[in-house]
């Protein structure tokens, strides 16, 4: 896999995640609760010859670290179901009023 460019989204720099060791450390420090253990379990269950699946798993967990470092994404993830439902109702009402 080629090296990925550094993400510099809303939160600025994120931890390096070019190797499995760096990704594990990023998950430990910046991941959501349980991410590190779940990552290890998923990676441990996959056939290492299935490089596509290994890449999918690592990319998914890299993305989770990026989400946790983005304040807008973290706020969206923390929203309650009722809050999201209220916003959708409001937007549907506003769209119907136009």
Whether the pLDDT of residue 9 is over 80: the answer is no
Q: Assign 9 to helix, strand or coil.
A: strand
What is the extent of the structural domain holding 32?
18-97
Q: Contact, 24 vs 36, CB < 8 A? A: yes
Q: Is residue 11 part of a domain?
A: no
Instruction: Read off the tokens for 64.
Output: 């989770």
Residue 12 lies in a domain: no
18-71 pLDDT tens trace: 999 999 999 999 988 999 999 999 999 999 999 999 999 999 999 999 988 888
Q: Residue 6: inside a domain, yes or no?
A: no
In a domain, 83, yes or no: yes
If one counts the domains in the chain, the total is 1
């Amino acid at each position: 896999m080629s090296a990925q460019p550094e993400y510099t989204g809303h939160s600025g720099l994120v931890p390096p995640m070019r190797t499995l060791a760096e990704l594990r450390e990023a998950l430990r420090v910046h991941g959501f609760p349980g991410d590190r253990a779940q990552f290890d379990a998923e990676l441990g269950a996959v056939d290492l010859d299935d490089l596509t699946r290994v890449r999918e798993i690592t990319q998914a967990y890299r993305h989770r670290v990026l989400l946790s470092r983005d304040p807008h994404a973290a706020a969206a993830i923390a929203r309650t179901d009722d809050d999201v439902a209220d916003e959708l109702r409001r937007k549907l009402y506003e769209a119907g009023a136009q």
